[in-house]
Structure 1
Amino acid sequence: MVLYVVATPIGNLKDITERAKEVLKNCDVVVCESKERALKILNHIGAAQKRIFYMPAPKEGSNAEKIAEEIKENNLSAVLITSAGTPAISDPGSTLIKKCREKGIKIVPIPGPSAITSALSVSGIQSQRFLFLGFLPKKGKEGFLKKVKEGVEKLPINPAIVIFESPHRIKDTLEKIEKVFGEDTEVFLGREMTKIHEEYLFGRIKDIRDIMIKRERIRGEITMVIHCGKKEGEGEDLGG
């Protein structure tokens, strides 16, 4: 019995890895956040007839115990996938992984596409160290960002800050970032990454915000990287 935690494409299905294909084709059951997305991936690799356990985010807590018990009782080989990217990273999965581990089920990661590292890699922002915040809170966003900024200022180095955001909240989020970090703060914005209409913007937060404000409708999930600048001495060897 084993649970494979499998990273799937963040947009372009051709980005699926050979190992991901292999375990998806050979497993007994697929645990997914979205049936529609799971079937799209399974159809793409020719494994559309797989048994599926549905585990949406709101029901992960109640479903995880049942699914873990099913895997153990029937000695199943299971694959956990999310709608896109790596499970349990701002997506469902951590509760199921914990339950499976408690029951002695082997947990195996199958790495692959990640919106976080994809955005960092093309941002041009120095990212030897970064802070991932996931989706910002819907309420109290400005206060949350102020606390993040205060925390970063206490660190010996300034990490790049990575956040996820939905298209209908991006304008408000950009406003709050500009207010807290300043209009000259450099940011990278990746939208619809790896898809047909992918878009990548880099510049001052004020300029990126101006671009977005002019758009009546924004589509696609967004990953942002905030450049916090450098502290004096940063880039030197910090080791002991």
Structure 2
Amino acid sequence: MKNSKNKQTLEQRLNKIRAGVLGSNDGILTVVGVLFSTAAATSNNFLILVAGFSDLLSCAFSMAAGEYASVSAQREIERAVIQIEEKQIGQDKDYARKTIAKSYISRGVNQQTAYSIADELIQKHEIESLVSAKYTLKIGEYVNPWGAAFSSLISAALGGLFPLLAMLLLPGHLKFAGTIVATTFAVALTGSLAAKLGEFHLRPAIIRNIVIGLITVAIHYYIGKLF
């Protein structure tokens, strides 16, 4: 029997990857940005801790809330689309057959074969076959907003811990350099995980994340120096 991972649709996998990577990257970069801005302006560890921890919490919960709202809207749209197609079938008995056949014809299948496929599909599962052919949706397999929200919350919180702990635990002369190293490691890790789970090239994903991370650090450090 296949495990649950193998049963997930591509859309579900990509949604979890997107939520996790966005959450972790946002957690890492927003926290390190606040830390460098604050640490550049003051050497008070308590203020740095309050600023960093507050930002970590606000980032994690705002990312989770945003993911939940976004994915819930997507889920409702998917359900609405299915209702619209069911209504169309009720108004035109040949609608599903013509739409499915048209979908296959657009992929290069000849007309006779396309209609034969459509006839066979609608005899088994008419509405399921229609929405699958037209929208690549699968009835009952909607994107889970709670899964995306939880993934984003945890990944943002864990991501933000890397720079926060480095800034707070390292001795004064190593704070900035150590936090940069921790941030570089963290964003490289999220890039490699995204590449592995998404099955795309590893090196560009890691390099892209590291470059963005270092630019973020530099910008926020010099903003802090202004004060």
* Bucket of the pairwise TM-score, normalised by the shorter protein: under 0.3
Q: Which has the higher strand share?
A: 1
TM-score (norm 2): 0.23
Q: Which has the higher contact order (CA 8 A, sep 6+)?
A: 2
Q: Which has the higher helix share?
A: 2
TM-score (norm 1): 0.22
For the pair shown, the structure with the greater C-alpha radius of gyration is 2
